[in-house]
């Protein structure tokens, strides 16, 4: 990585990443700008032109390790800056955009929701193997321990991927897993009805309520669970008085 990448520090200031080390802007000099290594006590310096695009001199004397978890920091700092700038922007949207634009390889974003469908954990994973999922759960467990919390779910609703089911079975042998595949994927009336629900997020916020009444309430399959799901959805997501009213999650195109 010999290119210069500009990223955001935790406080939203510009940092340069060069050869996997980070530099902060120290001062303007006659020929351009002097940047110093962010590691305390390290004297490494870069001298760049005013636009911070060309290095015309460098003195690299790092005697320390490269900063750890740089790719994760790049994404989380940039997302934090955007969240602070644009308070009403949806967090999930900010995070997705940062992942898409990240200068690092990440193949999978995984969200873990609580039982009220509130996304609580965002994981950026390099692949979809059992080992990766198990490591993710170990990190979550450790993090929870740090906060004095116990991560010991007794029920998981996960999607169709076998690797995550296997990882859950190994990590939480007593946990029950519900796959959404059966109902959601089937070509039955219930399956189609469920799938169309996801289209609501493409509507304008003001159209959601009416569309739900016209297209979903009137066609709801006769099924106790679906009815319960619908009541829950209306109370929390469709109603303007709900916890997560349409203007939070509907499209703003």
The site for Zn ion (CB under 5 A) is made up of 37, 39, 42, 44, 62
In contact, 180 and 195? CB cutoff 8 Å: no
Shortest Cβ 63–Zn ion spacing (Å): 8
Shortest Cβ 7–Zn ion spacing (Å): 16
Give dist(CA 175, CA 207) in Å, integer.
Answer: 39
Considering the complex, state which of residue 41 and residue 148 has its C-beta at the smaller distance from Zn ion: 41
Considering the complex, state which of residue 44 and residue 230 has its C-beta at the smaller distance from Zn ion: 44
Considering the complex, state which of residue 62 and residue 128 has its C-beta at the smaller distance from Zn ion: 62
Shortest Cβ 12–Zn ion spacing (Å): 22
Considering the complex, state which of residue 42 and residue 121 has its C-beta at the smaller distance from Zn ion: 42
Give dist(CA 229, CA 116) in Å, integer.
Answer: 11
Shortest Cβ 42–Zn ion spacing (Å): 3
């Amino acid at each position: 990585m010999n290119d210069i990448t500009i990223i955001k520090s935790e406080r939203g200031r510009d940092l340069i990443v060069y050869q996997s080390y980070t530099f902060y802007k120290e001062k303007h000099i006659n020929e351009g700008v002097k940047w110093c290594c962010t590691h305390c006590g390290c004297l490494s310096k870069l001298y760049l032109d005013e636009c911070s695009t060309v290095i015309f001199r460098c003195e690299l004397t790092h005697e320390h390790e490269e900063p750890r978890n740089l790719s994760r920091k790049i994404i989380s700092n940039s997302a934090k800056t955007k969240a602070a700038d644009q308070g009403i922007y949806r967090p999930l949207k900010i995070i997705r955009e940062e992942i898409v634009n990240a200068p690092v390889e990440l193949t999978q974003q995984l969200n873990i929701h609580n039982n009220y469908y509130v996304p609580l954990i965002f994981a950026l994973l390099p692949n979809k193997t059992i080992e990766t999922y198990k490591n993710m759960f170990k990190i979550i467990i450790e993090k929870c321990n740090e906060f004095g919390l116990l991560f010991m779910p007794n029920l998981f609703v996960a999607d169709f991927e076998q690797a995550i089911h296997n990882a859950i079975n190994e990590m939480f042998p007593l946990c029950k897993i519900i796959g959404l595949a059966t109902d959601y994927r089937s070509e039955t009336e219930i399956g189609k009805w469920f799938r169309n629900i996801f289209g609501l997020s493409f509507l304008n916020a003001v159209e959601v309520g009416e569309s739900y009444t016209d297209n979903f309430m009137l066609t709801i399959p006769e099924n106790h669970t679906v009815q319960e799901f619908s009541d829950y959805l209306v109370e929390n997501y469709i109603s303007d008085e709900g916890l997560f009213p349409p203007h939070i999650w509907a499209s703003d195109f």
